[in-house]
Structures are given as C-alpha cells and as structure tokens.
Structure 1
Amino acid sequence: MKGDPNKRSRDKYCCFHYDHDHDITDCYDLKQQIKALIRQGKLQRFVSKERMDPPQEQAPRWENKRPSLPIGDIRMIVGGTMAVGSSKKARKTYLKMVQNVQLTGSVPKMSRIDNPIIKFSEEDARCLHHPHDDALVVNIRVGDYNTHRVLVDSGSSADILYYPTFQQMRIDRERLILMNAPLVGFRGTRVFPLGAVTLSVTVGDYPQQITKDITFLVVDCSSVYNAILGRPTLNSWKAVTSSYHLMIKFPTDYGVGELRRNQVAVREFYIAMIEMDDHLQTMNIEEHQTVTEPIERLEEIPLDDSKPDRTTRIGTLASPTVRQALTTFF
C-alpha cells in the first residue's frame, strides 16, 4: 500500500492488505487478482450465470477448445533474418517489394479482418514503479513448456531461442534446419545460428489468446534470457507494444489479448546480466553491418637466434622467395 501510514484513514480497513486506508470492497489489488483468476477459469462457480452465458443460453464457441495443460516449466538457463534469405537474389527481391510500395502506393490485396481497437490507459500502468527504463520481459508457452525470461525486442530482426532452452525442451536436434546467414549484434560481432526450428507459441489468458507457429533461430551463447521475440513474431500477431506500460496487446477472436510484464523479475534479470563474468551478446539484430576480418594469416619469425623472445611477423600471401628475402633483411 502506497502513501504515509500515519495519514491513512483509520475508519477503513482492508482484510486483503491487513492494513487501514480503504474498505475491501474498494481494494484495487484484490479485484485485479480476482479478474486474473476468472480469466484462467479458476472461479467459474462464483461467477454470475447471466454474465458468463451468451444470449439464448448457447455455450461459447471456445468452451470446447480449451488448451491442454503444459507439461513443464522453463524458468532459467542452466549451465539472419528469416524473411530475407541468404542469397543475393533473395535480398534483392526483399528490397524490391518495399520499393514497389513506396513508388506506386499499391499494396498486395489482403482479406479484410475486423479487429478490435487496441489502446492503452494509465490504468494499465498503475501497478508499475515510475519512472522506469525496464525491458519488456514476459512469460509465454512454447510447445509444451511455460517459458519464462523471454525478452520482447522490436529492434531484433529475428526470433531467437537460446540453445540451453532448446535442450531443456528435449527437441531432437535433427529438427534444426541449417542456416548460413549470421546474426550481427551492435558490437559488430557475428554469431552463426545452429539452425532454425519452428515451434508452436501460445500467449494471452484464455480465451483471449492466440497460438501461432514461430520460426526461431537457435543460438549457442550465454544469456540470462531463454528467448527473444523480435519483429517477425510481433508483426504476425499484429501486436502493439508499450514500453511505458510494459505490456503487449494483440487482437484475438474474443477481444484484445494481453501479455504483461513482471517488473520485479525484469530488474532481477538486469542485475544478473551485469554480474555475469563474460559480456553477453545482446541480440539486438541489425542488418547491413560490416565486420572487418584479417585478409591474410601472419607468420612469426625470429630476429635473433640467441634471443628467442625477439620476433616479428610477416604475411603469408607473398611468394616463398619474397618471404625469405624479408626474413633475411629483418
């Protein structure tokens, strides 16, 4: 409960907070927890029949489509872009598609879908500590596992699944599709994925939830996160993210679905990342990065046989005659 305890109203008592300030009938936190339990289907016997049943006493269409329970939880790690492709022709085609839209103003025809209006309010940010610069970290269901510590990164051009997470899911490595396009981080270092794998992902509270197949690039490097959701997935969900509200909202067949953050967990992740021994490769994937590499291997040669520590290095691309001349000269 916020505010100075000495200034709270003493004639009102909340049995939920065990403190004075307001009556339990006006308790915001209690109402939010009750709503969450109702969305999870855990308080159906207490909910009014008139409010649950649609007109003409017809059962909801989603009543017979209740998803199966997950078989486990993945809580922490123990121990190029898919749309473009890797060939030059594929990259040129990728660029021409957007150039055509910019020049002609025409877009491919799509079937019209009536989606609910997505909006955010101050009520959505009520239980957050402000001001903040916290990352948006959520929990999602990947396949049969509730997967925690998933970073939502609209700056990433790929969806990433870290290899320790892949292993915990007990997925056969033969399902990986080999990829030859590297991922480039903001430090300029390149990481080659072990491959790509397509998995079913479910988000949202039932029935305002969606399930879609997502193609992840599996990366074998250190991270406090289990996975990263990038632009490909966010766009496929038609999702709207708000860093201020630390929330994602997306349209479903039964209204607007929500994916909320855990601000306490986010700050725990940040501290864990800072305290890790080796610097993590934060996978903010940026296209069109150039990485400079050595153009030839160098060979070490001695300058003085009596002093082995006195050496220099020469290139190995020159002919043997030139290299011998350089060695003699030095």
Structure 2
Amino acid sequence: MQIKDEGALTFPGKLKGDPNKRPRAKYCRFQRDHEHDTTNCYDLKQQIEALIKQGKLQRFVSKERTDPPQEQAPRRENEHPRPPIGDIRMIVGGITAVRSSKKARKTYLRMVHSVQLTGSVPKMPRIDNPIIEFSEDDARRLHHLYDDALVVSLQIGDYNMHRVLVDNGSSVDILYYPAFQQMRIDRERLTPTNVPLVGFGGMKVFPLGAMTLSVTAGDYPQQITKEVTFLVVDCSSAYNAIIGRPTLNSWKAVTSTYHLMIKFPTEYGVGELRGNQIAAKECYIAMLKMEDQQQARCIREQ
C-alpha cells in the first residue's frame, strides 16, 4: 500500500452488511474493514489497473504488481497454441483440486523441442471464405438410431471443459457455478447483473454475475478463439456450460444435430467440433435422476 501516498486512489466508504458477521482474521487496508485481505480486494485491483493504463504508478509496476496482465501478447502466425492446464469433466460440489496433466506437459515439451530443432513451424495456407458443408461421411462415426443432444468439449480459459451443451435455442452463454469454482476464479471478479434468466424449469433464475473468458474450438490449425461472456448460474445441471446463439453467431458456425457436429470458418479452412454421444447420454441420465430427486423432495415437503 505504498501507493496510498500518491494521492491517486479513491478510498471507498464503509462496506454494507453486518460487520459482526465478517471474518475477523481477514482485513483489507483499502476498504478498512474485515471481509477479505488487501491483496484480494477487487476494487483496489480495478483502480490500480486503471492508473497503470493511464501511465501512472510506473515505478511500482515491476516490483509490486503480482497479477498477470489481462491482455496476452498476440500469438505469432502459425504458432501452436499453449496447451490447457487441466480438464473439467464432471460437475461436483465445492472447490476441488485440479490435477495437472503429465501427458499434456510431455507432449508440449516434445513439440517445443521439435520447433527448436527445425527453427520454424511449417507454413499453413490461408483460405478465404471456405465453403461449409456436411456429408454422410460426417455421420458414419455415430451410433444410429439416436436423438442425442449436441454435447462437446471446448477449451475455456486455461481448462479443457467437457460436457458443454450446444443450444441454438439459448439467447445467452451459461457457465454453471460448480465448473466456475473448479476453474479457481475469484468470485469477486464476476460482473454483477440483475437480469433474470427464464427457462430453467419455468422459473426465474438470477445469475451470480458475468465473466468474460477466452474460448477455443477445433483442432490446430483449423481452430477459432474468441472472447465469450458467460452468465454464471448456480443451479443443478449435468452440464458444465451452455454455448448459445451469441457465440455460435460470432463463430459464424453451422450446427447439425443429425451429424452431431459444428463447423465454422477459420483462416486455414473449415474447423470442426464433434459431439460426444457418450457424454450426451450420461448427461441425459443425470438430468433424469435430478428430476426424480426433485419430485421426491416435493412429495416429502407436502
């Protein structure tokens, strides 16, 4: 808090709520109250970020700033993307430890070593306005007959996110709170929103907030990376996330429920994202079990 003497910070007023219910072990020197530590203060971080962008506090940046920069340096042309740091496969309660993938690290090291030996990455031809089409060959891998939902895996942030439902009928992109917790993102980073969602069992659900994350779809180099704003929702679901029309439109994506596939244009041709029939069936069974449990609770409460 050496920067407090600079005169650039705007100190907030007292926190709302009962001060007796706040944890006494944590104290924020910026808020001057007990609720969280100074290093985890969202308001302080926001002001510091704004001051740095204005060219102020430069003498503090190199020695005091510990947060990673919000904007990553642009990836060089044809450079292979950084691998994810973990996988989120199933929805579980609470914060769970995410295992690091040794296989992913070894694969990445082999790739880096190969690039160092050759000195360059092979050039990929750019393709403008590729034609998107589906054929029977795209459906041959599927188990027929079926009526499965389109459930895919995406890289969201630094994680491989499995059990992601692609829903053309959804006007928003949803990230369920248990998956959000597994990503180890501070809840204070959520942007508040008071707009309710309708469609969860006919009830209104108020999101916990909004969060913008980088989403990558497809296999390199026919892949696409976009910033997606998710609404974080705390309610029961067999899915980790829902990709709706906003993202599908930004990808210029074409979906086919018959082929259980998404296709989208990239700089190097048409990218593909295949649905997982096993995951779709597992989610369907899990949702039926949740419905049975909900009905059982309603009967007991009557």
TM-score per shorter chain, which class? Answer: 0.5 to 0.7
Does the residue aligned with 2:143 lie in a helix, a strand or coil? coil
Specify which of 279, 282, 285 is matched with residue 265 of structure 1. 279
Specify which of 137, 140, 158 is matched with residue 154 of structure 2. 140
- How far residue 279 of structure 1 moved from its aligned partner, in angstroms, is 4.6
- How far residue 127 of structure 1 moved from its aligned partner, in angstroms, is 1.3
Specify which of 69, 72, 77 is matched with residue 83 of structure 2. 69
Match of 1:117 in 2: 131
Match of 2:265 in 1: 251
**Aligned partners of 1:208 and 1:252 also within 8 Å:** yes
Match of 1:130 in 2: 144
| CA 1:186–1:224: 2 relative to 1, 3 Å | closer
2: CA distance between counterparts of 1:188 and 1:232? Answer: 22
- How far residue 172 of structure 1 moved from its aligned partner, in angstroms, is 1.3
Q: Does 1:172 align with 2:203?
A: no
**Aligned partners of 2:128 and 2:267 also within 8 Å:** no
Does the residue aligned with 1:274 lie in a helix, a strand or coil? helix
User: Higher Cα Rg: structure 1 or 2?
Assistant: 1
Does the residue aligned with 2:138 lie in a helix, a strand or coil? helix
Specify which of 209, 213, 236 is matched with residue 222 of structure 1. 236
Consecutive aligned runs of 4 or more in structure 1 exceeding 6 Å deviation:
none
| CA 1:182–1:214: 2 relative to 1, 3 Å | same
Match of 1:192 in 2: 206
Q: How does 1:1-330 map to 2 (within 5 A)?
A: 62-63=77-78, 65-79=79-93, 114-185=128-199, 187-276=201-290, 277-279=292-294
Match of 1:327 in 2: none
- How far residue 246 of structure 1 moved from its aligned partner, in angstroms, is 0.2
Deviates most, 246-255 or 266-275: 266-275
Unpaired runs of 5+ in structure 1? 1-60, 80-112, 281-330
**Cα RMSD between the aligned structures?**
1.7
Unpaired runs of 5+ in structure 2? 1-75, 94-126, 296-302
**Aligned partners of 1:124 and 1:245 also within 8 Å:** yes
2: CA distance between counterparts of 1:218 and 1:154? Answer: 19
Match of 2:299 in 1: none
Number of aligned pairs?
186
| CA 1:251–1:213: 2 relative to 1, 3 Å | same
2: CA distance between counterparts of 1:279 and 1:249? Answer: 37
2: CA distance between counterparts of 1:143 and 1:186? Answer: 25
1: CA distance between counterparts of 2:145 and 2:215? Answer: 32
| CA 1:186–1:149: 2 relative to 1, 3 Å | closer
In the superposition, the TM-score normalised over structure 2's length comes to 0.59
> Aligned partner of 1:196: which letter?
A
